[in-house]
Amino acid sequence: MEKIIVTGGAGFIGSHFVKLLLASNDVAEVTVLDALTYAGHKENLDDALTSPKVNFVRGNILDEDLVDDLVQRHDAVVHFAAESHVDRSFFEAGAFLATNVVGTHTLLEAAKRHHIHKFVHVSTDEVYGPMACGSASERSPLRPTVPYAASKACSDLIALSAFATDGVPVCVTRSSNNYGPHQHPEKIIPLFVTSLLKGEQVTLHGTGQHIRNWLHVEDNCQGINLVLRRGIPGEVYNIGGGTDLTTRELTGRLLELCDADWDQVACIPDRKANDVRYAMDFTKIAEDLGYRPRVSLADGLAQTVQWHRDHLHLWAPAQRNPDAPLAEINVPASMER
Ligand code: NAD
C-alpha cells in the first residue's frame, strides 16, 4: 500500500492512470498535482475525484515549496505533467523548457531529499527522432527535432542523472502516440473526430505519409504501472505495440467511423520538422515485465469515436470558444501531433 503522487493527473494520460491505480485496489492514497493549464480538466478524472483515496492539489510542479511538502508525504511519484503539444512548442518553447525540464528537476530534487521509493518519468518516442527504417531500442541515441521532443529528451537525461549521481530510483518510460477518450482536441484524433462528426473539414499535413504508432492510452498506463511496481531504477522502458499507420491511413479509418468521406479532407503544406516516421522496439518491457498491449486499433478507435459521439457537447466547443469550460484557448484546425 503506497502513497503516490501523479503529476498532470488531470490531463489525458494521467487521468487514465489515476483510474487504473484506483482499480488496482492496493494503493493507499493518490495525490493528483496538476496546474490545470488549458490541457488539464478535473472532469477528466470522472468519479475518481469522489474516491476517499484521491486528493486533488491544484499547483505547479515549478513551485518548490509545494512540491517539497507533497513529496515528503508520499512514497512514489509518477510524473506526467508536461507541455505536450508539438505545434505549440514552435511558438512557446520557453514554457516547454520551464515545465518539462525545470519542473522535472524540481520534482527530482524533492525526491532526492525525501528518499522517495520510486520515480517514474513519463516520456515519448519522439526523443529518438525520426527513424527512416528499423526501430529505436532504449540504448538508441536521442535525436529530437522539435522543441517539445528536445525538452522531453532533456528531462529524460536530467531524470536519469538523478539516479546516477544521487541514487534517486528513477525509471523512464517512452511510449508511442496515445489515443483514447479524454484527449485534448488539439491532438489529431480528437480534432479530426470532433470536426468530422460536426460535418466540418479536417486538414492533412503534406501528403499524409508520416507514420506514427498508435497505442491505446490504457495500454500505455498498463505499461507505466508495471514500471512503477517492478521497473529497475536507472532503466528506460519503451512502451509500444500499437499499430503503425500513415496519417492518411488514420484519416481513412476515422472517416469511416464518423460516416464521413474524403471531401471533408483538405491538404495543407507540411509543418516544420514533421518527422517522417517514429518506431520503437518494446522487447525489453515485454520480456522483463510481461507487458502486452491489449487493445486492438479497430476496437480502440471505435471506442474513442463512440466516446466523442457521446460527449460531443463537452468537446466540440473546446475547439472554437476561448471561454468554453474545457479549453481556454482556440485550437487552429491545422494543429495535429
Ligand atoms: P496533456 O497535455 O493532456 O496533460 C498534461 C497535464 O499536465 C495537464 O493536466 C496540465 O494541466 C498539466 N500540467 C502542465 N504543466 C504543468 C505544471 N507546470 N505543473 C503542474 N501540472 C502541469 O498531456 P498527455 O497527453 O496526457 O501527456 C502526459 C505525459 O505523457 C507527458 O509527459 C507527455 O510528454 C507524455 N507522452 C504523451 C503522449 C501522447 O500521445 N499524448 C505520448 C508519449 C508520451
Average pLDDT over residues 34-53: 95
Residue 218: left if φ>0, alpha if ψ -120 to 50, beta else—which one? alpha
98-102, 106-110, 131-135, 254-258, range with the lowest pLDDT:
131-135
Residues near 54 by Cβ (< 8 Å), separated by ≥ 6? 18, 22, 29, 30, 31, 32, 45, 48
pLDDT in tens, 75-86: 999 999 999 999
CA distance 119 to 169: 6
323 a catalytic residue:
no
List of domains in the chain: 2-329 (3.40.50.720)
179 a catalytic residue:
no
Q: Which atom of ligand 1 is nearest to the CA of 60?
A: 19
Among 36, 58, 80, name the best residue to mutate to test ligand 1's pocket (greatest count of ligand atoms within 8 A of Cβ).
80
Helices 297-310 and 312-320 meet at what angle, rounded to 10?
A: 80
**Are the beta carbons of 225 and 272 closer than 8 angstroms?**
no
Ligand 1 lined by 82 (C-beta under 6 Å): yes
Q: Which of 75, 87, 128, 148 is catalytic?
A: 148
- State the amino acid at position 182 in one-letter form: H
* Residue 250, SS3 per DSSP: helix
Q: Which atom of ligand 1 is nearest to the CA of 126?
A: 43
Average pLDDT over residues 66-93: 96
126 a catalytic residue:
yes
Mean residue pLDDT of the chain comes to: 92
Among 13, 124, 243, name the best residue to mutate to test ligand 1's pocket (greatest count of ligand atoms within 8 A of Cβ).
13
Ligand 1 centroid to Cα of residue 277, in Å, is 22
Residue 275: pLDDT above 90? Answer: no
Phi, psi of 173 (to 5 degrees): -110, 140
Ligand 1 centroid to Cα of residue 324, in Å, is 20
pLDDT category at 32 given cuts 50, 70, 90 is: very high
Instruction: Please identify which residue in the block is written with the cell numbers 460531443.
Output: 312
Ligand 1 centroid to Cα of residue 12, in Å, is 7
Ligand 1 lined by 60 (C-beta under 6 Å): yes
- State the amino acid at position 216 in one-letter form: H
Q: What is the pTM of this model?
A: 0.94
pLDDT in tens, 297-333: 999 999 999 999 999 877 765 655 434 443 333 333 3
pLDDT in tens, 174-201: 999 999 999 999 999 999 999 999 999 9
Q: Which atom of ligand 1 is nearest to the CA of 14?
A: 26
**120, β-bridge pairs:** 78, 171
Q: Which of 75, 125, 186, 336 is catalytic?
A: 125
Residue 292: pLDDT above 70? Answer: yes
pLDDT category at 45 given cuts 50, 70, 90 is: very high
Alpha-helical segments (H) within 198-292: 217-230, 247-257, 283-289
**57, β-bridge pairs:** 33
**237, β-bridge pairs:** 173
Cell reading at 36: 490545470
Instruction: Give me the pLDDT at residue 274, please.
Output: 84
Ligand 1 lined by 15 (C-beta under 6 Å): no
Taken in order 40, 42, 45, 49, the sign of the CA dihedral is: positive
Q: For the chain, what percent of residues have pLDDT higher than 90?
A: 86
pLDDT category at 10 given cuts 50, 70, 90 is: very high
pLDDT in tens, 208-227: 999 999 999 999 999 999 99
Q: Which of 126, 156, 218, 336 is catalytic?
A: 126
Q: Which atom of ligand 1 is nearest to the CA of 44?
A: 9
Ligand 1 lined by 184 (C-beta under 6 Å): yes
- The CB-side HSE value for 278 (13 A sphere, CA atoms) comes to 31
Ligand 1 lined by 177 (C-beta under 6 Å): yes
Taken in order 118, 291, 219, 240, the sign of the CA dihedral is: positive
Ligand 1 centroid to Cα of residue 116, in Å, is 22
**215, β-bridge pairs:** 178
First to last CA, the chain: 37
Q: For the chain, what percent of residues have pLDDT higher than 70?
A: 93
243-246 and 211-216 as β-strands: parallel, antiparallel, unpaired?
Answer: antiparallel
CA distance 77 to 120: 6
